[in-house]
Chain A
Amino acid sequence: MKMKSIISVINLKKDYGTLKAVKGVSFDVYKDEVFGILGPNGAGKTTTLEMMEGLRKIDSGKVMIDGIDAQKCPDKIKNITGVQLQATAVFDYLTLAELLDLYASFYGRKIDSLELLDKVDLEDKKGFFVDSLSGGQKQRFSIAIALVNDPKVIFLDEPSTGLDPQARRNLWDLVKELRLSDKKTVVLTTHYMDEAEYLCDRVAVMDHGDVVALDTPDNLINELLKKGFKKKVEVKPANLEDVFIDLTGHSLRE
């Protein structure tokens, strides 16, 4: 099956003084897939993502999203993308509903904020301030913010960092739903491999500013096994997280 590409990243570079943060990265993101950028801290994931979002100046190279050049028309890019940032980054002293309406106004849109809050399971928190939400609720709310302009592409930067296992699974369900029922293309960064394996159709592994591998999680694992890799300990069909979820249940604690 031939996949249609919606994002093309071509030889993207970014220097911070002498530090080469991103050294000529190229990849394509297909329409309606969840694309993961993996890598340890400082690998250049966030910088790459921010250049794609039009938030950071591109030193050289090119990002095309849905046929639009991110460097030349950052405003057009912003109109068709939704961005969820690492920390919960919104004004204090505004309620969730007010924030959604405000963000929608930046796109010249009027939205049904309750419907959007319902989508991220926060409709009963509409009159609350962000600072009173739990970690998982804040993450889900920032996804709602990223959805106000009904974007074609959603960028999620380390969406599950700091969440407990229940909140993490709940967030994963939301991301799956965005991809399956809302037909959004999702680009996310993470340093949790289980998250990448569960959510991503394809992943790019970054290290020291370069993409060192790019494929589906399955293919990458098979490649490694072909090289004769064996885990030292035989893997049990369950892990400690499965035990934790079995003991404490799937229901959210917030």
Chain B
Amino acid sequence: MVSKTFIPLTIASIKMFFRDRQALFWSLFFPIVIMGIFGLIDFSRFTIDLGIVVAEENKLEFAGIVEGLKQNAAFNVTEGNYADEEAELIDDKRDLILVLNKNDEGVIEAEALINASTQTQSSAIAKEIKDMLESNILNQANVQLPFRFKEQIIDVNDLTPLNFILPGVLGIALMNNSMFGVAGGIVRNRERNALKSLFATPLKKSDFLLSQVITRLVVSMMQVVILFALPISVNRVSGLIQGIPPEEAVFYFKVVGSWFDLFAVAVFGAVVFINFGFMVSALSKTYNQAVSLVNIVATPMMFLSGAFFPKEVLPKFLQSIAGYFPLTFLVDGMREVMNKGAGFVEIEIQLAGLLIWALLIFVLATRLFKWES
């Protein structure tokens, strides 16, 4: 069925990919930008805007506490009077306001105003401040608690923000390129009769399909290599310039599992989405329809599959639906390999999920596909 003719056609379609700016943007530029942004966000510097209100006559009394809070890097502290600080909070410029007062009976009264928009975080902080105040008082009273509490954060596998976002961005890039590349390539050329003119020559349809699949796989492999090689080389260069080890560089990430497994999962994901591309081209008459259909399929996956942010923040019912998305299987699979060192056996659920999607969509697409519009 297949002959050597597909080779020049494959080379030509790879050329076409690199000349199509829109395809280049979504397949390479966009994922690189997202990765760059996430790499540059310093997650350790997320601060709480804390307003402190202390009456003039009590300033001395609470000076120690205020100073302590100011020195804590987690807080960005401002001091002011009650009305001003409250106005700032309403204006969303404070997350939390702490009002410290001493009443006539000498009892310390602390009041926390919590911004609803950052409630979860700010409430926890307020509670911590309460604990801090209590232990301060206890200390002053020289009372010993019957236990001591020690806190230690253990950084498993030395992971970085890029360890989270890189598999996510890679999954999205593979999805966009494979689905959009195949669907766009077929539908646009069917619409402009280019497929008809191809088949007026002795070119076989199977050769054409093979050239499409190979083109998308080649581009997918380039995506994997570029998205991993780029941050590594930026780290090397910036490390050399600043004289720091790569572990401290901005785009540092760690691959705990095997590079080969990671690569294999990525390519398998690309194959699944190539099938989706054929499905889209089977369902769309025009290029614009294909673009909308790709967006309808890709956009919910992009935001719900946990590629950009953890699925756990979604409502339970959405989480359970999103758990079956092919992008979820792909991203989870890559994360397990990259961040936990999983092998194929440990990610058999993800691999099985991807395989089922691939078979299902392949069967549907071959039934619905038409060469002519």
* Chain A positions near chain B (C-beta within 8 angstroms): 53-55, 75, 78-79, 83, 85-94, 98, 101-103, 105-108, 142, 145, 149
- B121: Cβ under 8 A from any A Cβ: no
Give min CB distance, B192 to chain A, whole Å. 6
Contacts A94-B15, A142-B197 given; 6 further ones with Cβ under 8 A? A88-B192, A89-B193, A93-B16, A94-B16, A106-B9, A149-B201
Cross-chain contact of A107 among B193, B194, B202 (Cβ < 8 A): B202
Interface SS of chain B:
helix
Closest 9 CB pairs of A and B: A89-B193, A83-B200, A106-B201, A105-B8, A93-B19, A93-B16, A89-B197, A106-B203, A78-B202
Cross-chain contact of B197 among A54, A85, A105 (Cβ < 8 A): A85
A103's nearest neighbour on chain B, judged by CB, is: B201
Q: How far is the CA of A149 from the CA of B16 in the complex (A)?
A: 24
Contact of A87 with B9 at beta-carbon distance under 8 Å, contacts A93-B16, A93-B20, A103-B201 already known: no
Give min CB distance, A51 to chain B, whole Å. 13
Contacts of B197 in A (CB 8 A): 83, 85, 89-90, 142, 145
Contacts of A88 in B (CB 8 A): 192
Cross-chain contact of B15 among A54, A75, A90, A93 (Cβ < 8 A): A93
- B73: Cβ under 8 A from any A Cβ: no
Contacts of B198 in A (CB 8 A): 106
Contacts of B20 in A (CB 8 A): 92-93
* Chain B positions near chain A (C-beta within 8 angstroms): 5, 8-9, 12, 15-16, 19-20, 188-189, 192-194, 196-203
Contacts of A53 in B (CB 8 A): 200
Q: Is the CB of A55 within 8 A of B188?
A: no
Q: How far is the CA of A162 from the CA of B16 in the complex (A)?
A: 28
Contacts of B203 in A (CB 8 A): 106
Contacts of A101 in B (CB 8 A): 8
Cross-chain contact of A75 among B8, B193, B202 (Cβ < 8 A): B202
Contacts of B202 in A (CB 8 A): 75, 78-79, 106-107
Contacts of B8 in A (CB 8 A): 101-102, 105
Q: Is the CB of B16 within 8 A of A90?
A: no
Give min CB distance, B84 to chain A, whole Å. 61
Give min CB distance, A96 to chain B, whole Å. 13
Give min CB distance, B282 to chain A, whole Å. 20
Give min CB distance, A196 to chain B, whole Å. 23
Cross-chain contact of B193 among A79, A87, A93 (Cβ < 8 A): A87
Give min CB distance, A55 to chain B, whole Å. 6
Contacts of A106 in B (CB 8 A): 5, 9, 198, 201-203
Contacts of A91 in B (CB 8 A): 12, 16, 189, 194
Give min CB distance, A135 to chain B, whole Å. 15
Give min CB distance, B336 to chain A, whole Å. 38
Cross-chain contact of A89 among B5, B12, B196 (Cβ < 8 A): B196
Contact of A102 with B192 at beta-carbon distance under 8 Å, contacts A55-B200, A78-B202, A90-B197 already known: no
Contacts of A142 in B (CB 8 A): 197
Q: How far is the CA of A78 from the CA of B205 in the complex (A)?
A: 14
A155's nearest neighbour on chain B, judged by CB, is: B200
Q: Is the CB of B201 within 8 A of A107?
A: yes
Q: Give 6 CB contacts A-B under 8 Å.
A: A86-B193, A92-B188, A93-B15, A105-B5, A105-B9, A107-B201
Contacts of A92 in B (CB 8 A): 16, 20, 188, 192
Contact of A87 with B192 at beta-carbon distance under 8 Å, contacts A92-B16, A93-B15, A102-B12 already known: yes
Q: How far is the CA of A55 from the CA of B19 in the complex (A)?
A: 30
B185's nearest neighbour on chain A, judged by CB, is: A91
Contact of A94 with B199 at beta-carbon distance under 8 Å, contacts A89-B194, A106-B5 already known: no
Contacts of B15 in A (CB 8 A): 93-94, 98
Contacts of A107 in B (CB 8 A): 201-202
Contacts of B193 in A (CB 8 A): 85-87, 89
Give min CB distance, A99 to chain B, whole Å. 8
Q: Is the CB of A89 within 8 A of B9?
A: no
Contacts of A102 in B (CB 8 A): 8-9, 12
Q: How far is the CA of A142 from the CA of B12 in the complex (A)?
A: 18
Q: How far is the CA of A91 from the CA of B193 in the complex (A)?
A: 9
Give min CB distance, A128 to chain B, whole Å. 13
